[in-house]
Amino acid sequence: MWEDKVRKVVPYTPGEQPRINNLIKLNTNENPYPPAPAVRERLKDLKYGDLRLYPDPNCRLLVDALSGYHKVKPSQVFVGVGSDDVLSVAFLTFFNGDVPILFPDITYSFYDVWADLYHIPYEIMPLKADFSIDKNDYLKENGGIVIANPNAPTGLELDVSVIEEIVSKNKDSVVIVDEAYVDFGGTTILPLIDKYENLLVVRTFSKSRNMAGLRIGYAIGSEKLIKYMSDVKFSINSYTMNMPSLELGKLSVEDDEYFKTTCAKVIDTRERTKKALKELNFSFPDSRTNFIFAKYDGPVSRDDIAAELRKRNILVRCFNGERIKDYMRISIGTDEEMRVVIEALKEVLR
């Protein structure tokens, strides 16, 4: 009867990572460009002998780089093994009440998984028909709020002034703003971090910093929020960040020019892809991210299109929620990759 005592969960399903040659991989919003050049240089002279030592449990190298970059105190920065780790620690730390936390029905599909895992009550707030948030949904009593901005998988951005209103009218709970995609032309709420003690902003190196393989994420908030998260982290695992992540993450932060250039390239390609998709009779919410959440307004089903793309070694992501079962999420690759995708779509829809 030991199984009665097992903590049973329905896990999150990550996008697949198949090993196929010449794959155009547009299913997990990775960046098509490599990490900053300094990262490659440093990789060459990372000392294997140093791996004998535990890494710095306080992650100073990376925390200091991020604190300098965002002009906040080091005590306002929390780093983790991807933003999934950071968000998980934040859920565990801040959502410990009996009143449900709130998040939208169509959003990052990990939020309900953590809530279930940690036995956090939650209430799902349906987005409006155009996939935008109704701010009034977030002005009632709650145990906390999570908003991805821009949202995934819709790509839509909510105006920062609306988020500020939600934060300012919820002083009794923590509001987490997941800014995984903000670097692709969105507006950050970070400048308000010192104004609201209950605001936590979460970021990742996986998309805009081209380093999904290293697993680096971080949060910025008031010193109090970060201290509470740090206490929880040190109660689970002191050494979350490995030595290469600390060293290489810092170098990525230091090369702002490369960062801005590659983000601009992705944005540029995205805008061109929007035009091409429109011409092919696709519709989509106006993306401020490195993906487009597209629906074909014609006689071919989403699943048939995705299957045909796959035959041509092009991978996109399909979700099966009732309201989004006709949409596919297409990550933005290089110009050349997107040209191939558009050609393939023309062929499939002919």
**Would you say 29 or 76 has its CB closer to ligand PLP?**
29
Cβ of residue 54: shortest distance to ligand PLP, in angstroms? 23
Q: Residue 270 or residue 344: which is nearer to ligand PLP going by CB?
A: 270
Q: Does 222 bind ligand PLP (CB under 6 A)?
A: no
Rounded to the nearest whole angstrom, what is the least distance from the CB of residue 28 to ligand PLP in the complex?
8
Q: Does 337 help bind ligand PLP (rule: CB under 6 A)?
A: no
How big is the CA angle at 221 (ends 219 and 227), to the nearest 5 degrees? 90
Strands (E), 105-215: 122-125, 145-148, 175-178, 199-204
The least CB distance from residue 152 to ligand PLP, in Å, is 4
User: Considering the rule CB under 6 A, would residue 112 count as an interface residue with ligand PLP?
Assistant: no
Asked if the peptide bond before residue 150 counts as cis, ω within 30 degrees of 0, the response is yes
DSSP assignment of 305-336 equals HHHHHHHTTEEEEE---GGGTTEEEEE---HH
Residue 172 CA to chain centroid, in angstroms?
Answer: 26
137 near ligand PLP (CB under 6 A):
no
204 binds ligand PLP per the rule CB under 6 A: yes
Q: Decide if 81 contacts 215 (C-beta within 8 A).
A: yes
For the CB of residue 99, give the shortest distance to ligand PLP in the complex, in Å. 24
In angstroms, give the least distance from the CB of 246 to ligand PLP.
15
Token pair recorded at residue 175: 């509001």
Three-class SS state of 80? strand
Looking at the Cβ atoms of 29 and 173, the one nearer to ligand PLP is 29
Residue placing its CB nearer to ligand PLP in the complex, 302 or 317: 317
Number of residues this chain uses to bind ligand PLP (CB under 6 A):
13
Q: To the nearest 10°, the Cα dihedral for 12, 18, 24, 28?
A: 20
List contacts with ligand PLP (CB under 6 A).
29, 82-84, 108, 148, 152, 178, 180, 204, 206, 212, 217
